[in-house]
Amino acid sequence: MFRIVRKQILNPSVTLMEVEAPLIARKAEPGQFIILRVNDEGERIPLTIADYDREKGTVTIIFQIVGKTTEILGNLEEGDAILDFVGPLGVPSHLEGVKKAAVIGGGLGTAIAFPQAKKLHSLGAEVDAIAGFRNKELIILEEELKSVSNRVFITTDDGSNGNKGFVTDVLKKLLEEGNKYDLVIAIGPLVMMKAVSNLTKQYNIKTIVSMNPIMIDGTGMCGGCRVTVGGKIKFACVDGPDFDGHEVDFDEAMRRQLMYKKEEQVSLDAHKCRLRGVDNA
């Protein structure tokens, strides 16, 4: 069992949890993930490691409540425990040698972009962080990004924070101003990562994206997390989740992402019906 030592609501649908997992914290690196199971009747879900503290022996996860499992997880409180918490899985991000980088997060992807920016900052790189959200109520980790970045740019689709636009608008402006980046990291919705990759390809800038396809075992055995990169099949769990954004087949990934939307909603609706049945008993 893995005890939750801290819980923080970041916005109405996004929650941060710091979990006691000393063996994972000892080896975790940016870019890696864990797979958890809330209870013995639960499904396995992957979540990226948002942060870790080797001294405290804790791992931080940040998740959005979008389905049955994340809703059950979100109902846990400090002091409660998660049944299974396995990791670190995946290949750590290769960030050594980077002098100047743009780290871009879209929505919840900002939680995954943060450890990348933090690691680059610790290695002495100059970091421009860009994060985009639908509106100002959904903004997360702004102060945390400021602590590990030279500059932070926050945009919203509706302009409610005073900066209307998309992350690609900010990146394009920075590139047109003459900023030279060794690396661009883009993490968030597939359509956003595709747009960033299309832009940086014009400037011949190395671009890394973090893929989050359907995943079951996390060890390369099931094949569920396959993505096409450079015309070849790769598994996000053991070959990634970081890949060259200029080689990812985003259109295929977007089609596969929608495959089980109906079943996911059915599962969530059934869970809510059971809860109402208990409440009315």
Q: Is 273 labelled as part of a ligand binding site? A: no
CA distance 5 to 17: 8
Which amino acid is located at 147 in the chain?
Answer: S
Of 257, 256, 228, 255, nearest to 243 by C-alpha is 228
Residue 12 in tokens: 């109405």
Instruction: Tell me: is residue 237 an annotated ligand-binding position.
Output: yes
Q: Which two tokens stand for residue 101?
A: 């980088």
Which structure tokens are listed for 204? 């011949």
Flag whether 64 is marked binding: yes
Q: Kind of pairing, strands 151-156 and 2-11? A: unpaired
Closest CA to 114 of 16, 40, 232: 16
Q: How would you label 55-74 residue by residue, b for 16+ Cβ within 10 Å and e otherwise?
A: eebbbbbbbbbebbbbebbb
Mark the binding-site residues for [2Fe-2S] cluster, compressed into ranges. Answer: 222, 225, 237
Binding positions: 62-64, 222, 225, 237
Q: Which residues are annotated as a binding site for FAD?
A: 62-64
